Amino acid sequence: MSILNYQNLTLTYNEQEILHHIDLIIPRNQITVIVGQSGSGKSTLLKATIGLLSDDAKITEGKILFKEDNLLKKNLDGYRGKKIGVIFQNPLTYFDDYQNIEEHFYESLHTHFKYSKKQSRKIAIHYLKQMGLEETILNKYPFELSGGMAQRVMIALVLCLQPSLVLADEPTSSLDVVIQKQILDYLLNLKKQTTFVFVTHNIQVARYIADQIVVIKEGMIVEKGNVETIFNAPKHPYTKSLLRKEKNNAPI
């Protein structure tokens, strides 16, 4: 059964077509990984899903169905967070520099679940621990975090709301391989309750976590399939060249 269904999605930036007639089904409780070279439209697809496109973007055709709801016709404030979590490519730009990490957790957990400060702190500590982070990070402000720490805090912030769908744009790109594996294993365990759409440049990450791999080139899906098919019997020349180029990524 699908949780997300893109039907003929077509999008322009400044009237130039960037996504062309995207048809894609995201199956529930699976990890779908979108791969493709820089500029192929991966982030745009995620941003369109959750209504975070810039003003110069326009969706000219199509639908994005989340369960039965066409997201393009909805006020997405009611979806972000509890129903659909979003892990951004550059987390630091989304944090509030005047709030420490504990306040970020409290604001989010209180808004969505009315949790108290004490309850929020307990939940925050649990999720930070899964990310390999100590409780002391709660007192820090975003500008005090390294890129890798910020990524891990953001993942914890998103997951603590237990969304049924998580959109993740290069969520582990700043992490060293040991931490990356720990977090990927944790995400794999969450599949029982959550569906992931995961964008990455790292073909080894895709191989490790994906159920479905979607290859996107210049705003078009050129190939999709399960990990075995894409890695062992890729059909499209672009998929073959991506696999060749990225084969030197460190194995997970």
Ligand X SMILES: Nc1ncnc2c1ncn2[C@@H]1O[C@H](COP(=O)(O)OP(=O)(O)OP(=O)(O)O)[C@@H](O)[C@H]1O
Q: Does 56 bind ligand X (CB under 6 A)?
A: yes
Q: Does 49 bind ligand X (CB under 6 A)?
A: no
Residue of 9, 22, 44, 214 interacting with ligand X (CB under 6 A): 44
Largest CA distance in the chain: 55
Residue of 1, 54, 75, 98 interacting with ligand X (CB under 6 A): 54
| DSSP type of residue 211 | S
The interface region with ligand X, picked from 34-42, 156-164, 225-233, 240-248 by CB under 6 A, is 34-42
Q: Does 157 bind ligand X (CB under 6 A)?
A: no
The nearest distance, CB 72 to ligand X, in angstroms, is 17
Reduced to 3 states, what is the DSSP secondary structure of residue 167?
Answer: strand
Q: Does 248 bind ligand X (CB under 6 A)?
A: no
Q: Does 93 bind ligand X (CB under 6 A)?
A: no
Residue of 4, 9, 42, 48 interacting with ligand X (CB under 6 A): 42
Q: Does 206 bind ligand X (CB under 6 A)?
A: no
Q: Does 224 bind ligand X (CB under 6 A)?
A: no
Q: Does 168 bind ligand X (CB under 6 A)?
A: no
Phi, psi of 216 (to 5 degrees): -120, 135
The nearest distance, CB 211 to ligand X, in angstroms, is 21
- The CA distance from 113 to 150, in Å, is 24
Choose between 142 and 219: whose C-beta lies nearer to ligand X: 219
Contact 172, 183 (CB under 8 A): yes
Choose between 57 and 125: whose C-beta lies nearer to ligand X: 57
Choose between 56 and 96: whose C-beta lies nearer to ligand X: 56
Q: Which residues 6+ apart lie within 8 Å of 237 measured at CB?
A: none
Q: Does 144 bind ligand X (CB under 6 A)?
A: no
Composition of the chain by helix, strand, coil, percent to 5 = 40, 25, 30
Residue type, 73: K
Question: Distance from CA of residue 118 to its chain's centroid?
Answer: 29
By DSSP bridging, strand 57-66 and strand 31-35 are unpaired
Total Cβ atoms within 10 A of residue 75 = 8
The interface region with ligand X, picked from 36-44, 98-106, 120-128, 134-142 by CB under 6 A, is 36-44
Helix pair angle (147-159, 101-113), 10° resolution? 20
Footprint of ligand X (CB under 6 A) = 13-14, 18, 36, 38-44, 54, 56
